A and B are shown apart, each in its own frame.
Chain A
Amino acid sequence: MFVLLALHLLIGVGIVASGDRLGRRAFAVAALAPLATVVWAITQADAVLDGRPVVVEVTWVEQLGLGLDLRLDAFGLAMVALVSGIGFLVCVYAVGYFSHPKQGTARLAGLMTLFAGAMLGVVMADHLLALFVAWELTSVTSYLLIGNDDRSPRARAAALQAILITGTGGLVMLVGIIAVGHTAGTYRISELLADPPSGGVISGGLVCILIGAFTKSAQAPFGSWLPGAMVAPTPISAYLHSATMVKAGVYLVARLSPIFATTGNWRLLVLVVGATTMIIGGLRALRQYDLKLLLAYGTVSQLGFLMLLFGTGQYQIAQAGVALLLAHGAFKAALFMVVGMVDHEVGTRDIRELHGFGSAWSPTLVVGVLGAASMAGLPPLFGFIAKEKALDGYVEHGDFIGSGAIVIVIVIGSILTFAYSARFVLGLFGVFGTDDADPRSRAAHAPSVLFLAPAAVLTVSTVAAGLAPVLVDRLVRASTLALQPGVTPSPVELWAGFNTALVLSLIVISTGLVLTAYRVPLGRLQRRASDAISWIPSAEQGFLACLRGMTDGSKRVTALVQNGSLPIYLAVIVTVAAVAPLIPAVSVFPSLPKLIDAPIQIPLGILVVVAALGAAVVRRRIAAALMLGAVGYGMAGLFIVQGAPDLALTQLVIETLATVLFVLVLRFLPTKWADRSPAIARPIRIGVSTLAGVSVFVMALVSSAARDDVAAPNISEEMIARSAPDAKGNNVVNVILVDFRGLDTLGEITVLLVAAVGAVALARTGRRRLIPGRREQGHARPDQGAGS
């Protein structure tokens, strides 16, 4: 199985990297991957259908509990039939569709192959996290496929909308997966099925997983992206947005329902959302003039139907789901292909611009009509069997609360399905054509055999499965068993006897006929009704509002946080840094120590303070620099009093050097500075500075008091004791610098070295650009080492 996935990856990347060189032949290359998959699946089919799944277990990231466990059971096989079977046909179809390849067409083929690989990953993954990985890959490839026509703003907007909704849903799902997997202790679907977990966390996690599934399968209220995604070329729509990707959500629900249907609100949530989607999708489809949009809303409706079938956790109903899944894949892909052919040859998909076709189109129209009939649920087609099975399942086996209501929903939904199927057929025959002046469709060139063949193959399979259900019987039954081991699925039959389901089917067909006959007044009624409720914000508007809110919010945050002014940043930071240590310190504020240690401190202290204040206020640069020097000399004096002569000496040397440097550099700048538009108002600056000062004052007192508390023998005493015997030095500070902490001193020198390199590098431009020959910057450099 990994070989197959790798094959998809290889072919996909190869096509993308080859640029536009291949043109539409790229699709022929792309077809190889699904073809290989189909061939492989056929070889495995017998064993799989007998209940012996193909399992490959690979530990991907052991440490993170990520496994790439692949497992192909019968239900997976059904999905592979959809993904690779239809994938292959779509590739063949695309060769005809893209008869005039544009820039980027070949890329579509590559991306489609990548998508097919990701989708195979979804249906083969047994590990929920691996499933999630593939799931998100399908979202990304779908994004790229929708937005491939990068010149079209609509395409880009639609692509964006799709990935925002499905991507976000996917991440919510990841939260759910982690919650479930973490609590249950396993991420393997098969193990979860064997030993279903339960509990509060699980229920919450399941809601998250469902949200992911709903967004992917375009369920209300997350469905707004799917109609938008129809801007993609028709082969893409046929493949991703009807047959495969949108089924991923349904697939996940199908897998998990047998485990979790009775846990938390799973069943309630799925049924309510599925029912709403089925009805709304059907109603919307009835209002469309664009054939492709009609099919898109029809897909939404059918996806809701599938949710209803798979979400109950009852195998009899799920069995109908499997049948419908296959039937829908076959007829909807065929219908999309027909629409694509019309679009390709006529240049429009609007039923108001279609006025019937010439006789060469008959095969195409037959394909379209049979597909629509299957969609409407007419016997003896596969769609009929599936719907019959669904109604039968609900009527005979729906034993949970609300199952009766769901039967009514399905009947109404099916009536709507019938109505929009009829609308599709009538539209195809030009019944809605309004502009007779330009009957383009009648003169249109009929599609070539190759172009039509894939749709024809699908239609033949629809008819064959309808006439001889035994063809799919084994697959459907085995799939049901795979979803829920140990049950006994009933056979799939065309004629299941005269039962309630048949009566309901007849009601659906007759009511649908009535709706179609009275379509004009009903359409008016529907429009009026939708106008009446137009004040309710649609999901689409909600999405736009979210997007706008996000933009506005982001900008406001940026404006607030990233103001760009260094003084303001500094003020904020100083405030934080001044307040933060104060909080723990204030509670342990010590009693005040004595005012002074020695009388000499008074004049020195005054000198330092006055010079510091002077440096802060004077307007002449040189004066300020000299004041700073004065502070330094005062500091040296204080160091001596404190018992640190080495420090004082260093301070003196350094201060002299620094002052000289200052004067040398400041010589170039104007003597006075004018303060231009201060970034912060003066009172705030004063406030912040005062706060910093106070904070330092408090911390100084607290820290020195705490130092007195330390009872344990501290490191300094040890150093004093070891200084003479170990290091042969009497000046303890010096010994510390060169012996005990020699590494620090080495580092210190390195710091100076780097600073020197930097200063030289910076000043070198000056020599070159300004005053050649002058070396004012270079002088102090050799002296630096002496400082330390």
Chain B
Amino acid sequence: MPQEFVGPSIDWFALSPLLVLLGGGLFLLVAGALTPRWPRGWYALASASTAGTAAVLSVFQWSIIDRDGPGTLVAGALAFDHFAQFMTILLCSAVVLVSLLCDDDVRGTDREGPEVFALLLMAALGGVVMASANDLIVMFLGLEILSLALYVLVASDRRRSESQEGGMKYFVLGGFASAFFLYGIALLYGGTGSTNISDIVAGFQAGVSTGREDALILAGVALLLVGLGFKIAAVPFHVWVPDVYQGAPTPITAFMASVGKASAFAALLRVLVVALPFHRDDWRPVIWVLALLSLTLAPMMAIVQTNVKRMLAYGSISHAGFMLVAFEAAGHRAGEADPGTGMQSVVVYLAVYSALTIGTMAVISLVSRAQGGDTRLTILAGLATRHPVLALSLTLLLIAQAGVPLTSGFVAKFGAIQAAVTEGSYVIAIVAMAAAVIAAFVYLRIMVTVWMSTAPGADRQMLAYVSLGAPADDADGDAADGDAAAGAAATSTSTATATSTEVDTTGAAIAPEAITLSTAVVIAATVTFTIVVGVAPGWFLDLAANVTNYAR
């Protein structure tokens, strides 16, 4: 060969968070497989410290971007901007917390081992790739890494058939969503001649497109929205959420609700706001409809639930609705020099919600484990007498989710609504407020249960009245007369019912939950975040305001 080989210049340091995650995941897998079982807690420690390192490295990148401005990496495949770093820090922090939770959760089960923790790191890697993708194919790969890791994590509780069912459904529907996403990319490529976001934007800026290309782009956007709609779990693409959130091990539910949702929103932002600002008037109405549906339907469905994880699952759908409200507001300004507060509100909401959901799930995981894995609402009854501090923490996390002032939840919800009002989306803002009321009611119901004494023969009628849902006790009679399909599945339902009846009859005799150090750390961290951001949100909003300075 006449010429000397010149490799592409790669800024390895800028890639370091990604590399750390990948390396950590591989190390856990290889070292875990080759060495005998590590002492308890070490796997979690390894995964948490890996994610922590990645987050810290990302903080360094942040300051580099502050100095040099945003750019791209690896020949334009990855964006190197504040948004990417913000999401990296968010996702890695979530991994740290969830690792600690998983440590307690897997202990003594056949899931004990390096796989779960390696998969957490891999999932975060996928999420970070999605969030920093500057190329649609790269984004697709990130999506696949994340999704596959999540499928496995969801189905990881091998002994429970619920977990298995959940994993299967999530997988089939999720696989479908990925297929749509890929097909959407193909159509976008057909319409724009590129899969690189910078090139796509440059192409639009340069010239006029033909009608046929526009049709392809719109069709592509439609499919991308379907694919990502699944991942953010917006109505009507939310159908998998209740089953999967309920079926997955509780820390994994927290992981999905935080990392899964955040990554999908990040991808949505990259595709719509960054790559397709010129079509904002085409995609914004779709977001509007998704937000409206999520806001109105999800809380209504949450109200009637009797399983606390399921309630929170529907709650997460309604939170997605709020994020979409902010997103819609961001859509009004996509591509403009002044981006408004919409995008900032989305990321704030993501961070706040991630912390809240991890904290809440930490408490529920703790309580549910003490009660044999039951996750029905009744397990929380009497928590206040058993563990006042735990109950207080849970209450705080719940009122924050409900959006009560002086908590981070209020800051998030207010930001979203304020952004919508500023952009003149009054209808959706008012719907969001109404939805907040119904959603608040859902959390109120959980809180009431927490502070309710364990009264075994508690007035069934009034419970029904107050909770707007029949108490789960009368489940026994109905399970039998299900239709043919329900009959087979009743196995799982009735096992749950059986354990629950036991719990109910034993009433106050429930043993107090043993609070482990790692779970306590998680709860304390999330509660602190909730209060700090709730009381003094200024610095956090300032931080978030940076993210709109994307690499283009």
Q: Which A residues form the contact surface with B (CB < 8 A)? A: 16-17, 19, 59-66, 103, 132-134, 136-137, 140, 143-144, 147, 150-151, 153-154, 156-157, 160, 163-164, 167-168, 171, 174-175, 178, 182, 547, 550-551, 553-555, 557-558, 561-562, 564-566, 569-570, 572-574, 576-577, 580-585, 587-588, 590, 676-677, 679, 699, 702-707, 709-710, 712, 714-715, 725-726, 728, 740-741, 743-744, 747-748, 750-751, 753-755, 757-758, 761-762, 765, 768
| Contact of A566 with B169 in the complex, beta carbons under 8 Å | yes
In the complex, which of the residues B1, B78, B173, B415 contacts A64, with contact meaning CB atoms closer than 8 Å?
Answer: B415
| Chain B residues within an 8 Å CB radius of A62 | 538, 541
| Chain A residues within an 8 Å CB radius of B194 | 714-715
Q: Besides the contacts A140-B404, A588-B211, what 20 more A-B pairs have beta carbons closer than 8 Å?
A: A64-B341, A150-B451, A167-B440, A175-B433, A182-B421, A551-B304, A562-B301, A577-B223, A580-B223, A706-B191, A715-B194, A715-B196, A715-B199, A744-B137, A747-B129, A748-B141, A750-B122, A750-B145, A757-B119, A761-B152
Complex Cα distance, B75 from A583, in Å, reads: 36
| Contact of B236 with A561 in the complex, beta carbons under 8 Å | yes
| Chain A residues within an 8 Å CB radius of B77 | 741, 743-744
- Which A-B residue pairs are the 8 nearest by beta carbons? A153-B462, A747-B141, A581-B219, A758-B152, A133-B405, A580-B222, A584-B218, A703-B190
Complex Cα distance, B156 from A677, in Å, reads: 29
- Decide: A558 near B304, CB < 8 A? Known: A133-B406, A580-B223, A743-B78: yes
| Chain A residues within an 8 Å CB radius of B152 | 754, 757-758, 761-762
| Contact of A577 with B129 in the complex, beta carbons under 8 Å | no
16 interchain pairs, CB-CB under 8 A: A61-B541, A150-B448, A151-B455, A151-B458, A156-B462, A156-B466, A171-B437, A561-B297, A584-B215, A699-B187, A715-B195, A741-B77, A743-B78, A751-B141, A762-B152, A765-B158
User: Mask for B348-389, Cβ within 8 A of A = 1, else 0?
Assistant: 000000000000000000000000000000000000010011
| Contact of B537 with A561 in the complex, beta carbons under 8 Å | no
> Does B237 belong to the interface (CB within 8 Å)?
yes
In the complex, which of the residues B78, B149, B199, B405 contacts A754, with contact meaning CB atoms closer than 8 Å?
Answer: B149
- Decide: A570 near B466, CB < 8 A? Known: A63-B542, A171-B434, A703-B187: no
| Chain B residues within an 8 Å CB radius of A585 | 215-216, 219
A562 to chain B, nearest CB (A): 6
B431 to chain A, nearest CB (A): 11
Closest A residue to B469 by beta carbon equals A551
Complex Cα distance, B451 from A103, in Å, reads: 12
| Contact of A761 with B156 in the complex, beta carbons under 8 Å | yes
> Does B212 belong to the interface (CB within 8 Å)?
yes
> Does B327 belong to the interface (CB within 8 Å)?
no
| Contact of A728 with B119 in the complex, beta carbons under 8 Å | no
| Chain B residues within an 8 Å CB radius of A154 | 462
B109 to chain A, nearest CB (A): 12
Complex Cα distance, B542 from A230, in Å, reads: 46
| Chain B residues within an 8 Å CB radius of A679 | 485
In the complex, which of the residues B22, B122, B137, B459 contacts A741, with contact meaning CB atoms closer than 8 Å?
Answer: B137
| Contact of B418 with A64 in the complex, beta carbons under 8 Å | yes
The secondary structure that dominates the B interface is helix
| Contact of A168 with B437 in the complex, beta carbons under 8 Å | yes
> Does B262 belong to the interface (CB within 8 Å)?
no
| Chain A residues within an 8 Å CB radius of B144 | 747, 751
- Decide: A706 near B485, CB < 8 A? Known: A547-B468, A581-B219: no
- Decide: A751 near B199, CB < 8 A? Known: A577-B223, A710-B193, A761-B152: no
Complex Cα distance, B74 from A550, in Å, reads: 54
Q: Which B residues form the contact surface with A (CB < 8 A)? A: 1, 3, 5-6, 22, 26, 29, 74-75, 77-78, 110, 115, 118-119, 122, 125-126, 129, 137-138, 141-142, 144-145, 148-149, 151-152, 155-156, 158, 169, 172-173, 176, 180, 186-187, 190-191, 193-196, 199, 203, 206-207, 210-216, 218-220, 222-223, 226, 235-237, 239-240, 242-243, 297, 300-301, 303-304, 341, 344, 385, 388-389, 392, 399, 404-406, 410-411, 414-415, 417-418, 421-422, 429-430, 433-434, 436-438, 440-441, 444, 448, 451-453, 455, 458-459, 461-463, 465-466, 468-469, 484-485, 536-538, 541-542, 545
- Decide: A136 near B78, CB < 8 A? Known: A580-B226, A751-B145: no
Complex Cα distance, B203 from A573, in Å, reads: 32
| Chain A residues within an 8 Å CB radius of B437 | 167-168, 171
In the complex, which of the residues B155, B190, B203 contacts A762, with contact meaning CB atoms closer than 8 Å?
Answer: B155
| Contact of A728 with B5 in the complex, beta carbons under 8 Å | yes
Complex Cα distance, B223 from A582, in Å, reads: 11
| Contact of B455 with A570 in the complex, beta carbons under 8 Å | no
A1 to chain B, nearest CB (A): 16
| Chain B residues within an 8 Å CB radius of A136 | 404-405
Complex Cα distance, B463 from A758, in Å, reads: 43
Closest A residue to B240 by beta carbon equals A569
B3 to chain A, nearest CB (A): 7
| Chain B residues within an 8 Å CB radius of A160 | 466
Complex Cα distance, B2 from A725, in Å, reads: 10
Complex Cα distance, B448 from A156, in Å, reads: 9
Closest A residue to B207 by beta carbon equals A712
Complex Cα distance, B219 from A580, in Å, reads: 7
| Contact of B303 with A153 in the complex, beta carbons under 8 Å | no
| Contact of A588 with B215 in the complex, beta carbons under 8 Å | yes
| Chain A residues within an 8 Å CB radius of B430 | 175
Closest A residue to B484 by beta carbon equals A677
Complex Cα distance, B227 from A201, in Å, reads: 40
In the complex, which of the residues A163, A565, A728 contacts B485, with contact meaning CB atoms closer than 8 Å?
Answer: A565
Complex Cα distance, B193 from A655, in Å, reads: 30
| Chain A residues within an 8 Å CB radius of B216 | 585, 702-703, 706
B287 to chain A, nearest CB (A): 14
| Contact of B436 with A153 in the complex, beta carbons under 8 Å | no
Q: Which of A143, A580, A754 has the most CB of B within 10 A?
A: A754
- Decide: A153 near B74, CB < 8 A? Known: A561-B236, A588-B212: no
A766 to chain B, nearest CB (A): 9
Complex Cα distance, B211 from A103, in Å, reads: 73
Q: Which of B1, B148, B485 has the most CB of A within 10 A?
A: B148
Closest A residue to B26 by beta carbon equals A753
B541 to chain A, nearest CB (A): 4
Complex Cα distance, B327 from A171, in Å, reads: 22
| Chain B residues within an 8 Å CB radius of A758 | 119, 148-149, 151-152, 155
Complex Cα distance, B304 from A182, in Å, reads: 36
Complex Cα distance, B170 from A758, in Å, reads: 14
In the complex, which of the residues B118, B215, B235, B421 contacts A706, with contact meaning CB atoms closer than 8 Å?
Answer: B215
| Contact of B215 with A63 in the complex, beta carbons under 8 Å | no
Closest A residue to B219 by beta carbon equals A581
A331 to chain B, nearest CB (A): 33
In the complex, which of the residues A703, A707, A712, A743 contacts B74, with contact meaning CB atoms closer than 8 Å?
Answer: A743
B201 to chain A, nearest CB (A): 14
Complex Cα distance, B419 from A65, in Å, reads: 12
Complex Cα distance, B119 from A160, in Å, reads: 44
- Decide: A581 near B187, CB < 8 A? Known: A561-B236, A570-B173: yes
A728 to chain B, nearest CB (A): 6
| Chain B residues within an 8 Å CB radius of A761 | 115, 152, 156
| Chain A residues within an 8 Å CB radius of B212 | 588, 590, 702, 705-706, 709
Closest A residue to B173 by beta carbon equals A569
A146 to chain B, nearest CB (A): 12
- Decide: A554 near B300, CB < 8 A? Known: A17-B389, A706-B213, A754-B149: yes
Closest B residue to A765 by beta carbon equals B158
- Decide: A750 near B541, CB < 8 A? Known: A156-B466, A558-B301: no
Closest B residue to A704 by beta carbon equals B190
B50 to chain A, nearest CB (A): 15
B275 to chain A, nearest CB (A): 15
| Chain A residues within an 8 Å CB radius of B151 | 758
| Contact of A757 with B115 in the complex, beta carbons under 8 Å | yes
Closest B residue to A586 by beta carbon equals B215
Complex Cα distance, B160 from A769, in Å, reads: 14
Complex Cα distance, B430 from A123, in Å, reads: 27
